Structure 1
Amino acid sequence: MFAEADFVDPATGLPDPNLLLARISVNEGVLVVDTLTSIENVTGTAGDDSITGNSGNNILDGGAGNDIISALGGADTLLGGEGDDTLLPGNGTDTVDGGAGNDTADFSTVSFPVTVNLSTGTAMYVNGAGVLVVDTLTSIENVTGTAGNDSITGDAADNVLSGGGGNDTINGGAGTDIVAIAGTLADVDIAIAGNVATVTIGGNTLTITDGEFLAFNDGTDFEIAVPEVELVGFSVLPADTFAEGPPAGGDNGNGQPISANGRTGPFPGQPVQGFSGVQFADAEGSFFFLADNGFGAQANSTDFLLRIYQVDPDFAGAESGDTSVAIEDFIQLSDPNNLIPFDIINEDTTERLLTGGDFDIESFVIGADGDIWIGDEFGPFILHFDSEGTLLEAPISTPLNFPSIPGDFVRSPFNPEVLAGAATANLGASDGFEGLAFSPDRNTLYPLLEGPVTGDPATALRIYEFDVPSSSFTGLVGFYELEFAANAIGDFTPINDNEFLVIERDNLAGSAAEFKRIYKVDFSVIDADGFVEKELIADLLSIQDPNDLNGDGATSFDFPFVTIEDVLVIDENTIIVANDNNFPFSIGRGPDIDNNEIILLELEQPLNLDPRLGQEAVNDLTSEPVFGTPGDDILEGGLNFDAIRDLLFVGGGADLVDASPVTETIGTGPRNRVYGGTGTDELLAGIADRLFGGSGNDELNSVNGTGGNRLFGGDGDDEITVGSGDRAFGGLGNDILEASLSEGGARLYGGAGDDLFSLGAGDRIVGGDGNDQIFVGQGGNNLITGGAGADMFAIANADIPTEVNTITDFEAGVDTISINGLGLSFANVTLSPQEGDTLVSVPGGNLAVLLNINPNSLSAANFMFG
């Protein structure tokens, strides 16, 4: 190869023109040095050469290979030839031709700031003598500037441009351009407005126009090309909006009222604030918004009731509205059946309304059957409620690893076991399930943590997989990769089976906010480190507003709130976004505290939206109601109507309503709603139907359906038979709840009255108030809570259960264990201690575990045999 030799004139320190060049090469391991005298031009080899000229006028031709060619003084011609070459013009007027390959013009040795334009093929600077020097550039793709304040413009190709140092101005032009930064992402401050990015590093400022990516020394990159999004709907809910309920904000955790920014509690009712998740409420344009834990901490939110509000924005723009937001209704979350295994704020009340002192709810999904699934941050837990907000099962803990190990969970510092000193936190505070997406069929949830688990990379957020029918975690999808470790995610919502939207944000507000973005992630593309692919689709600090929908007099708009925690796909071109206003603390918009702003954004590129998602899917799932007569009616849903969400009102009489003959559905099923009325009705369910018996002694049956049904007996002595995965609620009266004909996974709730339960395998029941009788089948593995009253648990009925049943609340001296059809007596029963519980066994197998029961407290008086 050729290389520069240190042949200089001792008197001047400059290259001696009589000793123009030297050739240094390695031949079979031997260093060869040739001395060249009175040589003006050089042609390199087919290898990777390094060629340096002198102060004369040189022609330096690299030939093939990836060459480095440097000019000094004089009017030089630099020819890269084939290969990816680096060409360094000198302090003369040079002609630079990169030739074939991806070539770079490097001006780092030039002593004066340059103006480079690849579109015109020129590079200009004024030298120390005040003379304008113009270089000619041909076939150059990339540019490196000087240590001064340069101006560099790319062309239509994909360029790599580097300022080199100083306060540089860089314009990428067309193509996908990369701006190289001498540092790491952590070293820079980035502000983006439209197609202009301002990057501050080491006291220097780079102004970048039409650049797509920043590339850093450590190999990371950062996208600065912002897709164009337009504000097409704007509405605002004032911060000082309160709903009915007891006053909130009376205790900041130190016995004093909450007080900030001119607002002092207790407030006149429940603040409607902290929107942290959004779902469709109906086809008329209203939405459900989840309110988070309240005032930002566990200690100061004990009087903030956990609710889901139904709101109707009157959008300026899309609806030609007045920007107001109507609060139409709310769903109050509660645990009246005492399923939570730790004390809550309203522990000893009948309703057991949940508060921000119990959970930090940050994300939610409405299932195909109308149930509500919520992601919590304190546990972190998954919480399962019915459509009325009643908790259906105990909080579901988050496995640390898969396969999961019993008791090995992800826990935040506010996890009840951590607070009790029984476990150690392995997740940061407020790093739980900020996001909760779902599959279009709503059978799978995707809980997304807000922070990394101990031992995971600092920018890696776990995306879990949760199976709805079995109500259990089933694995990890992968990781979402934060752009900055200090960032957080805000929400997570589906586009189709593989693609989802994620809000990623910094923790700054107002003019200090720098990072508020929405990315599209793809589960079908996961790299070797487990990170899902992500693509920027919106920068919430750079939004076009040509019609000035928010009325501020500007044609641009931003969303500079510290927490932005709501996104939902309306259609392939439109998304809804809302902030969490952190009442009464945050001031992002100013000058007063933040309102709840709800906006519609039109995207630059359409989304590949699954037809089961979006507003149109909600519209398709709506039909006109059908009313019965006061007499004895026969009404059918399913194909007799439109196979989707029929609404049947039976009226009086002894009626038969069949919602089951459905062979064609949209999504997971029709979700017909049947209201029985005052008579003695027979109601049949099909796919994800909701049957309401009303008053009277009704028969509700879903055993021939395909799952996801909800059966509500109401008043009267009802008989309810369910299929696999269905839920039944007896209500008032002495009800019969039958699950033994199903394949398992049923959930039964007796309510008030002396109810009779018949279980199959893998069912869960809560008896409720009254003296209940509970019979288990051969399958076993049932989770049984008797509730108040003297209950009878028939844990063996002619057969030994295949798997052990669990009774959560057996009360010695009140409740009874029954063993039938085995010809046994108490002498055949073995009571064994088991980690604070009691295992009940008989010859042939184990029958049940009685939680929190000492075997010494039991006697023959607690058993009956038949």
Structure 2
Amino acid sequence: MKKLLLTLALLAPQASAVTLVGFAELPADTFASGPDSGAWSNGLRGEARFKGQPVQGFSGVQFGKDGTFWFLSDNGFGAKNNSADYLLRLYNLSLTPGKKEAQRGTVKVGNFIALRDPDRKVPWQIVNEASPERLLTGADFDVEGFAFAPDGTLWVGDEFGPYLLHFSADGKLLEAPISTPNLAALPTLKGQHPIVIGHRGSSGTRPEHTLEAYRVAIEAGADFIEPDLVVTKDGVLVARHEPIIALLDRDGKVLEATADVATRPEFKDRVKTRKLDGVEVTGYWVDDFTLAELKTLRAVERLPALRGKTYDGQFEIPTLAEVIALVKEVEGKTGRKIGIYPETKHPVYMQEVAGKNTSQLLIDTLVKEGFTDPGRVFIQSFEVSNLKDLKASIMPKAGVNLPLIQLVDGAGGAPYDLKAKGDPRKTDDMITDAGLKEIATYATGVGPYKRWIVDAKGAPTDLIARAHNAGLYVHTWTMRNEPTYLLPQYANDPEAEMRQFLRLGVDGFFTDFPATGAKVAAQYITPEVRSPQHPAFAQGNPGTANLPGSGGFEGFTIMPGGKTAYALLEKTVAGDPAGQIRLHAVNLADKKWTLAGRYALDQGGEAIGDITPVNDTELLVIERDNKQDTEAKVKRIYKINVTEKNADGTFKKVLVADLMDIKDPQGLAPDSKNGVLTFPYFTIENVIVLNKDTILVANDNNYPATGGRGKDVKDQNQFIWLKLDAPLNVSAGVGR
């Protein structure tokens, strides 16, 4: 028990006591001049609920002149479709903290800066489209952080895009909203997008190697489809996973089948026992059937216990020419170019038993069908000699040069052609540096079984890095959705497996469920980070949101010196590790974006609230959960250094203040109990460094929300001055 308590103590955030040295409060029902507001509810307009504009929803703070502060109001009444009459403003506040018991601080609201777009820089329709001033509203942007640049202009971070917005000192938009690039570059061989390969088509949803399986794979978003190729008696390449289409036991019972041949009495005399790669196998062999005979058969599901029999008996066995014709048909209708990723199955068997050179037949068919674009074909094989023959002889004679992929089976195996020649090399030898170097002499990539990349315990290996160093693409196999194929660490989530492999840098992956694969891959190749509230979607433009709602730039600041801005998302971009959020660095002169790193939320932490600089490399970050009042647990302020990261690439964090445990020995706050103040508001979105010892923190009261201080208690705007127990290393240009 003592050991357990010690472990828990080590995992918990280090205690960092802060003391309340000032308190002030602005009543929730504080209004400024302007049109009446609050008329919208879920996109429907009714009667205005409020006279004027609520001074509320503070989501960012900066210093003003003469000891005042500027506070940014956010998007209004909690949602985009409720806030069309909420005007976006910065309010100038004079704060006088109460510094002793029974002395209450005061908050005086001064003038405001109205954010507006009179020069029509916003390229889409806004709420006040036709008005001269084009005042911006909470239905146009969700502004959550801001800072003043040295030239006096104003920069604002938005959640809806998310965008960066650049205003003049008096609130006029100076340029079009600046989109957020998707900077989660994957470590692929050449920085290219990874490809999704429909393994035997969409074999998780349709019987494998049928035109319907390929069609569904293409419609699901696969970049390539994979036909495994074997040869008929009359020399035609057809798509089957093995030369045996129904495997039988000694008693004639079907163990596995991809066609209904065992139910056809006219073919009962075709059962034969042969050696396939040195192993005796009994069943029905493709090379014993003419194409005309195979066309009388119908495909069946190979894994009926797992995937059912719904589509059994509906689809033919297709030829390679028919697969190519399907791809051309789709291209003609949609303009979308799909690749073909054929595998020559068991070349030694096909040559020795069937008397056919599948590699030569493959090239002959591709040339005949006019499908020889090296950007749309990969040729793969588990054997080695046929790939070398393709590279050295067959392709040059045909005048084509297509990329070759050396497949690598699991540990302990061996390519059969090498084994047949007495070559002692195993698959283990093929993935050594020397083995990869040899593969690179004839192939452009390697196709390893996925356990060579992530082992059975879920730990990554260095294979991808070593293969890339040899100049080889890495296309791994096979991703499947069923829990039986997933490691426990993925918690039955096939997307989690795919994301891990993509983040490790695979250049492509085979999957039985290309719809899932395409969805996950799209999270990384979308050129922009987009929330569901992105205006492109409202304008009918296609695209996929890769950021949760209200997950845009919650934190924005400009560092001392005024050259670099930092913008921190509130939530995790799809595809990133769960609970990690991106911090972007933006050069304000040339608008160049870089990914500074990722901030990892605590267990129980669900979002961030604000960021502010301490010095040239350090920032304070408000982290919170989505709870309030007595349920609130995580309301913390951490310090990070943008140059210091953990082994996983996330920023190191130092706890500066636990806002659920603030010492208040003077009883400055009316909500303190037994000398302790908690700050349990749902959102706390304002922090600024006053000096090395003191910070100012304020909540966003989400007007007209209740619940922060009690179920039926209206949330006020509360301002707290906190003395730190450890001074900050404050640089020039920070604080007062």
The bucket for the TM-score relative to the shorter chain is: 0.5 to 0.7
In the alignment, what sits opposite 1:571?
A: 691
Q: Within 5 A, what are the aligned runs for 1:49-448?
A: 145=1, 161-162=3-4, 179-180=6-7, 212-213=9-10, 221-223=11-13, 225-255=14-44, 257=46, 265-282=48-65, 284-317=66-99, 322-401=104-183, 408-419=527-538, 420-448=540-568
Instruction: Give the aligned length.
Output: 396
Which of 699, 714, 719 is 1:598 aligned to?
A: 719
Query: Secondary structure of the equivalent of 1:511?
Result: helix
Query: Secondary structure of the equivalent of 2:549?
Result: coil
Choose between structure 1 and 2: higher helix proportion. Answer: 2
> 1:566 & 1:319 partners in 2: Cα distance?
25
Structure 2: any 5+ residue segments left out of the alignment?
186-190, 193-524
Query: Secondary structure of the equivalent of 1:469?
Result: coil
> Quick check: 1:462 aligned with 2:582?
yes
Aligned partner letter, 1:480: Y
- Kept after mapping to 2: 8 A contact 1:399/1:473: no
> 1:375 & 1:278 partners in 2: Cα distance?
13
> Quick check: 1:589 aligned with 2:709?
yes
In the alignment, what sits opposite 1:762?
A: none
Decide which moves more: 408-417 or 522-531: 522-531
In the alignment, what sits opposite 1:493?
A: 612
> 1:522 & 1:552 partners in 2: Cα distance?
34
- Kept after mapping to 2: 8 A contact 1:458/1:485: no
Q: Within 5 A, what are the aligned runs for 1:2-81?
A: none
> 2:651 & 2:619 partners in 1: Cα distance?
11
Q: What is the aligned-residue RMSD (CA, Å)? A: 2.1
Q: Within 5 A, what are the aligned runs for 1:647-796?
A: none
TM-score (norm 2): 0.52
- Kept after mapping to 2: 8 A contact 1:336/1:352: yes
Aligned partner letter, 1:611: A
CA 399–542 in structure 1, closer or farther in 2 if over 3 Å, else same: same
Report the CA distance between 1:592 and its aligned residue.
Answer: 1.8
Q: Within 5 A, what are the aligned runs for 1:810-829?
A: none
> 2:547 & 2:583 partners in 1: Cα distance?
14
Aligned partner letter, 1:180: T
Report the CA distance between 1:497 and its aligned residue.
Answer: 1.0
- Kept after mapping to 1: 8 A contact 2:640/2:652: yes
> 2:662 & 2:159 partners in 1: Cα distance?
31
- Kept after mapping to 2: 8 A contact 1:287/1:310: yes
> 2:660 & 2:26 partners in 1: Cα distance?
20
Aligned partner letter, 1:605: A
Report the CA distance between 1:278 and its aligned residue.
Answer: 0.3
> 2:690 & 2:697 partners in 1: Cα distance?
10
- Kept after mapping to 2: 8 A contact 1:510/1:561: yes
Report the CA distance between 1:424 and its aligned residue.
Answer: 1.1
> 2:544 & 2:176 partners in 1: Cα distance?
21
Aligned partner letter, 2:84: T
Which of 570, 578, 593 is 1:450 aligned to?
A: 570
Q: Which has the higher contact order (CA 8 A, sep 6+)?
A: 2
- Kept after mapping to 1: 8 A contact 2:100/2:667: no
- Kept after mapping to 1: 8 A contact 2:148/2:558: no
Aligned partner letter, 1:448: L
Aligned partner letter, 1:330: F
- Kept after mapping to 2: 8 A contact 1:248/1:268: yes
> 1:418 & 1:479 partners in 2: Cα distance?
27
- Kept after mapping to 1: 8 A contact 2:633/2:660: yes
CA 298–418 in structure 1, closer or farther in 2 if over 3 Å, else same: same
Report the CA distance between 1:320 and its aligned residue.
Answer: 10
> 1:498 & 1:582 partners in 2: Cα distance?
32
Report the CA distance between 1:396 and its aligned residue.
Answer: 0.1
> Quick check: 1:526 aligned with 2:645?
yes
> 1:285 & 1:257 partners in 2: Cα distance?
41
Decide which moves more: 399-408 or 493-502: 399-408
User: Residue deviations 1:704-730, cap 9 Å, x none?
Assistant: xxxxxxxxxxxxxxxxxxxxxxxxxxx
> 1:318 & 1:547 partners in 2: Cα distance?
6
CA 455–560 in structure 1, closer or farther in 2 if over 3 Å, else same: same
Aligned partner letter, 2:684: I
User: Residue deviations 1:66-115, cap 9 Å, x none?
Assistant: xxxxxxxxxxxxxxxxxxxxxxxxxxxxxxxxxxxxxxxxxxxxxxxxxx
CA 321–613 in structure 1, closer or farther in 2 if over 3 Å, else same: farther
Aligned partner letter, 1:222: A
In the alignment, what sits opposite 2:440?
A: none
> 1:352 & 1:611 partners in 2: Cα distance?
38
CA 254–392 in structure 1, closer or farther in 2 if over 3 Å, else same: closer
- Kept after mapping to 2: 8 A contact 1:233/1:319: no
> 1:550 & 1:222 partners in 2: Cα distance?
27
Query: Secondary structure of the equivalent of 1:445?
Result: strand
Aligned partner letter, 1:325: V
Report the CA distance between 1:318 and its aligned residue.
Answer: 8.2
> 1:226 & 1:379 partners in 2: Cα distance?
37
> 2:567 & 2:137 partners in 1: Cα distance?
22
Report the CA distance between 1:452 and its aligned residue.
Answer: 1.0
Choose between structure 1 and 2: higher strand proportion. Answer: 1
Kindly, what percent of the aligned residue pairs are identical?
46
Aligned partner letter, 1:162: L
Report the CA distance between 1:321 and its aligned residue.
Answer: 6.2
> 1:468 & 1:318 partners in 2: Cα distance?
43
Report the CA distance between 1:551 and its aligned residue.
Answer: 3.6
In the alignment, what sits opposite 2:205?
A: none
Report the CA distance between 1:552 and its aligned residue.
Answer: 4.8
- Kept after mapping to 2: 8 A contact 1:489/1:502: yes
In the alignment, what sits opposite 1:612?
A: 733
> 2:672 & 2:545 partners in 1: Cα distance?
49
CA 561–485 in structure 1, closer or farther in 2 if over 3 Å, else same: closer
> 1:550 & 1:597 partners in 2: Cα distance?
10
In the alignment, what sits opposite 1:637?
A: none
> 1:251 & 1:402 partners in 2: Cα distance?
38
In the alignment, what sits opposite 2:254?
A: none
- Kept after mapping to 1: 8 A contact 2:529/2:573: yes
User: Residue deviations 1:382-432, cap 9 Å, x none?
Assistant: 000010000000000000127899981111101111232422111110000
- Kept after mapping to 2: 8 A contact 1:412/1:418: no
CA 279–529 in structure 1, closer or farther in 2 if over 3 Å, else same: same
User: Residue deviations 1:794-835, cap 9 Å, x none?
Assistant: xxxxxxxxxxxxxxxxxxxxxxxxxxxxxxxxxxxxxxxxxx
Query: Secondary structure of the equivalent of 2:536?
Result: helix
Which of 609, 615, 629 is 1:510 aligned to?
A: 629
> 2:101 & 2:530 partners in 1: Cα distance?
44
> 2:601 & 2:526 partners in 1: Cα distance?
29
> 2:706 & 2:148 partners in 1: Cα distance?
29
> 2:34 & 2:705 partners in 1: Cα distance?
21
User: Residue deviations 1:165-196, cap 9 Å, x none?
Assistant: xxxxxxxxxxxxxx235xxxxxxxxxxxxxxx
CA 553–254 in structure 1, closer or farther in 2 if over 3 Å, else same: closer
